[in-house]
Amino acid sequence: MAHTLVIVESPTKARTIRGFLPKGFKVEASMGHVRDLPNNASEIPASAKGQKWANLGVNTEADFEPLYVVPKDKKKTVRELKDALKGADQLLLATDEDREGESISWHLLQLLAPKVPVKRMVFHEITKEAIAKALDQTRDLDMELVHAQETRRILDRLVGYTLSPLLWKKVAWGLSAGRVQSVAVRLLVQRERARRAFRSGSYWDLKAQLEQPSGVFDAKLTHVAGKRVASGNDFDESTGGLKAGSEVRLLSEEEARALAQRVSEAPWTVDQVEEKPTVRKPVPPFTTSTLQQEANRKLRLSARETMRCAQGLYERGFITYMRTDSVHLSDQAISASRHCVEDLYGKEYLSKAPRQFSTKARNAQEAHEAIRPSGERFRTPGDTGLDGRDLALYELIWKRTVASQMAEARLTMLAVDLSSGDARFRASGTRIDFPGFFRAYVEGSDDPDAALEGQEVLLPALAVGDAPKPKAVEPLGHQTQPPARFSEASLVKMLEKEGIGRPSTYASIIGTIVDRGYSTLQGNALTPSFTAFAVTALLEEHFPDLVDTSFTARMEHTLDEISHGQVEWLPYLETFYKGNQGLELQVQQREGDIDPGASRTVDLEGLSCVVRIGRFGAYLESKRVSEDGEEELIKATLPREITPADLDEEQAELILKQKADGPEALGEDPETGDLVYLLFGQYGPYVQRGQVSDDNPKPKRASLPKGVKPEDLSLDDALGLLRLPRLLGEHPDGGKVQAGLGRFGPYVVWDKGKGEKDYRSIKGDDDVLAIGLSRALELLAMPKRGRGGRTALKDLGKPEGSEETIQVYDGPYGLYVKQGKVNASLPEGKGADDVTLEEAVELLEAKAAAKKTSRRKSTTTKKPAAKKPAAKKAPSTTKTGRLRASAVRVIKPGNS
C-alpha cells in the first residue's frame, strides 16, 4: 500500500510527529546527518588517497569540491531509509527549519535519489495545528541556505585542517585551531592577561547605621571636606594607584577610623530628599544565545546541556524550535501569554497592548519565532509532567515568555543626602509601587518573590532638616578586584555582541575549548590554560587576522550575505584561501619561520623562569648555578590547579627549589618516626610520609583538599590527611561509617559489608578531618548524585533478580544508563523518556560482556599468527559537482 514517507532527524521527533499525521503517513528518523566530510584516514575512499589535497580534505584545485562520505555507523540508517522509500508515493523532508536542517534534507535527497515527488516540510513547533499547517504549505529546498551552510562547513575545514597540523608541529600534538574557536580562546586569554597585569588598590570609607523615629537605615560616606571619597572605579588596574588626574580623597585606615569616631559623636542633618519614579520593562523572550546565558546563570547548565535539554523539549512538543536569533512572537503566542497572565495574575498585570520585540543582535538571520512554550494555550510548568532539568528549563522559558506580555514594573528610586560636620553621606533605596512582570520573572534571579524583596530597599520617612541619631558608624576597608573570568554565559554574550559565530554553534565551540585543554571550568568560570596562552601568542604573531574579532565578524557577515544570495561563495573561498594574502600561502611562507621552542614557551611578566608546554602539560624551566659552579637546567611540572594569572615568583621558586634541592620536611610523624613532606605534582600539592626507597617504593600519600593552601598546611593537618580514612562510628542500620579522601575529593562512606559501600561527597563548610558521625549520617541520608554532581534524570527500576536500580544520567558525552559500577551509553537519538528497563538491561549486559572480552584478550599470552590484512572497503561517496573535502588524521581539528 502506497504511503507518504516523512523523514525527520530523531526518533523522539518522529514519535511526536507521528501522532499528528493522518493515516497513510510513515515517519522515519535519519539520526542526524547521514553523510559528511571524512573524519579520519579510514573514511577516505581509495580514489582520493594519495591526492595532493587529501591532507586538507578539500580539493582546492577543483572549485573547492567536497568529498562526502556515509560514515560506517550511518550505513544501516541509509539502507533503512531507502527501504522505507520503496513503497512511498511522496517524500516529505521534515528536518529542522534552519541551515543545518536544510543541509540534512539536501544530503538525504542526494543519497536517496527518490523517483517520487519530494517536498520540504517546515515547522517551528510540534503541535497538531503546526503540523497540519506545514502539510498544507510545503515548499522546495532552499538552495541558498544549502550553499551558505556548505560554504561555512568548508571554510571551517580550511581553517581547522590547515592550522591544526601546524600547531601539532610547533606546540603540542592533538591541539586544534578553528575559525570561531581560536577567537573565543583568545578572548579567554586576553581576560587572563588582564587579571595577571592587575594590581590591587586599597581604600577606606564609612558605613553608618542611623536611627529615626520611623525606623533604622544605612548611609554610605560620599564626600569629606567637599571632595568625593575614592571608590573602586577610581583606581588604575595596571598600577593599583589612583588614576592620573583623579580629583578624589583617598582615606587611609587611620583617617577612616578617626572620622568614624568624630561623626559618631557629632549631630547629623538631612540636607536633601529626592524621589524619582521609574519603570522597568520586561526583557524579550528567549533566543538561542539568551537561553544559554540565563540557563547558565540560573540553572548552572553548560551551553551543551542547555541545548541538549531544549532539543528534547522541542522534539517532544513542549517548546518551539530552539535555534533562533529572533525575539518575535506570533499572534498565537501573544494570545497564549496574555491568557496565562490574566488567569494567574489578573487583568491589572497585563501590558496595555500586546508587546512585540525586534531583534538587535548582529547578523541575526534565522526566520523563526523566539523560543517559547508551544501551542495555542501554554501548559503551566506544573501541568507538563516534566521533572528535573527538563522542568527547570521549561519553567524558565514559560516565565520569560509570559512576563513579556505583562505590565511594566513601577518603582520609585529614593536618595537622601545627609551631613555630619564636613562629612557627607548618602542613603539609597528603592520602593516597588507596582511589581508588574516582576511577579513572574526577574532576569538573573531564581525566585521572583525573593528578587522582589531583594530589589526593594525601603527608607523611613525623612524630610530636609531631620536629625537622625547615629547608631553605629563602621570604617570599611576595600581591595579592588581583578576583572572576572568569563563564565559560559558571559562568553556567549561577548561572542554574540561581537558578531562572531552563530549562537547555535556556541555550545559545541565551548565544549571543544574545554575538551582540547584550552580551558577548564572552575566553578562557573572558564580558566584558560598555559597551552591556550602559547597557541594564542603563536596565532597573534603569525596569523593575526584569524584571531581578530572584527575580522572574524566581517567573515560571519559575508557568510550571511552568501545565504541571502548577495555574495558568490566560490570567489570568496578563492580569495580567502588562495589569494596573495590567502591562508594557504600564509602557512607555507611562515611555517619555516616559526620556532617550535619559542612557540612552546610562555613568557610571563614578573617571573625569572619560563613556562614551557611539554608532552604531559606545562612545566617550569630555569637555569641555576650548582654548588660546583656548573650551570644546570631545572625543570619542574606545574600543578594543573595553578592558573596563568595566579602563578607568581614565590610559587615558581618553591616548585623549582623543591625539584632542585628535594622537598622540605614539615616535621616527623610521632607514630612511625618518618618525616612528612609537602610535594607538588601534576595534579596539585600533596603530602607524603617518608621518601621513595627500595624498602618503601610506595610511601603513603594524600592530596590536599580543594581550598587548602600549601603555605597554610600544618604538620597536624598533614598527619590527619595521611591517616585517612578515619572511622566515625557505627551506622544505625549496621556497618561502619568512615571519612576519607579519594580521587574526586573528600567523602563519607557507609561500609555495609560484603563489598557494598554507599558514598557521599563532602562539600561546603564540612571538613574531612573534623566531620562527625551525626553530620555524616545526614549526608548519607541525602539522595545520591552521580559523578560530577549529576542527579539521575530517570529511575528505570530494578530488573528481576537484581538488588541494584538502573538509572538514566546525562554526562559530558551524552545520555547513559548506570547500574552499580557499569555504565552504557544510549544510542544516538534515544532520549531519557524513550529508553525502557528491558532496553537498558540489554545495553548494560552488552557493555559488561565487552569488558570481560577485553580483559580476556589482555591476559592471553599466546601470540596469534600474523594475518594478511584484509582489503578495506571504501566508504560510500557522493560528489556534489561543486565543492570537495577529506581528512587524514584520527584527531579531529576544530571545525568552528
The three cell numbers locating residue 43: 573514511
**Cβ pair 221, 425 in contact under 8 A:** yes
**How far apart (Å, rounded) are the C-alpha atoms in residues 302 and 511?**
9
The contacts found for 120-125 with CB under 8 angstroms, 24 or more apart, are: 120/92, 120/93, 121/6, 121/92, 121/93, 121/94, 122/94, 122/97, 123/94, 123/97, 124/97, 124/320, 124/321, 124/324, 124/368, 124/369, 125/314, 125/317, 125/319, 125/320, 125/321, 125/374, 125/375
Please count the helices (runs of H) and the strands (runs of E) in the chain: 23, 31
Is 321 assigned a catalytic role? yes
Pairing between β-strand 756-761 and β-strand 745-753 as defined by DSSP bridges: antiparallel
**Cβ pair 844, 824 in contact under 8 A:** yes
Selecting among 314, 321, 345, 394, the annotated active-site residue is 321
**How far apart (Å, rounded) are the C-alpha atoms in residues 835 and 725?**
39
3-state SS of 515-561? HCCCEEEECCEEEECHHHHHHHHHHHHHCHHHHCHHHHHHHHHHHHH
**How far apart (Å, rounded) are the C-alpha atoms in residues 399 and 383?**
14
Spatial CB neighbours of 116, under 8 Å, sequence gap ≥ 6:
85, 88, 89, 90, 91
Q: Locate the DSSP E strands across 669-771.
A: 675-681, 684-689, 701-703, 726-730, 736-742, 745-753, 756-761
3-state SS class at 491: helix
Sign of CA dihedral 282, 285, 287, 293: positive
DSSP 560-627: HHHHTTSS-HHHHHIIIIISTT-HHHHHHHHHTT--HHHHTEE--TT-SSEEEEETTEEEEEEEEE-T
36-62: burial string, b at 16+ Cβ within 10 Å, e else: bbbbeeebbeeebeeeebbebbbbbee
Sign of CA dihedral 191, 195, 196, 197: positive
Sign of CA dihedral 187, 192, 193, 199: positive
- Distance of alpha carbon 783 from the chain centroid: 25
**How far apart (Å, rounded) are the C-alpha atoms in residues 652 and 638?**
9
3-state SS class at 9: coil
**How far apart (Å, rounded) are the C-alpha atoms in residues 350 and 337?**
10
Taking alpha carbons only, the member of 342, 316, 488 closest to residue 402 is 342
**Cβ pair 875, 45 in contact under 8 A:** yes
- Distance of alpha carbon 499 from the chain centroid: 19
Phi (first) and psi of residue 800, to 5 degrees: -60, 130
**Cβ pair 747, 762 in contact under 8 A:** yes
**How far apart (Å, rounded) are the C-alpha atoms in residues 481 and 237?**
9
Strand partners, 680: 685
Taking alpha carbons only, the member of 509, 607, 629, 620 closest to residue 186 is 509
**How far apart (Å, rounded) are the C-alpha atoms in residues 144 and 150?**
10
Q: Helical H runs in 708-761? A: 715-722
Taking alpha carbons only, the member of 327, 326, 380, 392 closest to residue 355 is 327
**Cβ pair 417, 404 in contact under 8 A:** no
**How far apart (Å, rounded) are the C-alpha atoms in residues 46 and 599?**
36
**How far apart (Å, rounded) are the C-alpha atoms in residues 37 and 50?**
17
Catalytic residues: 321
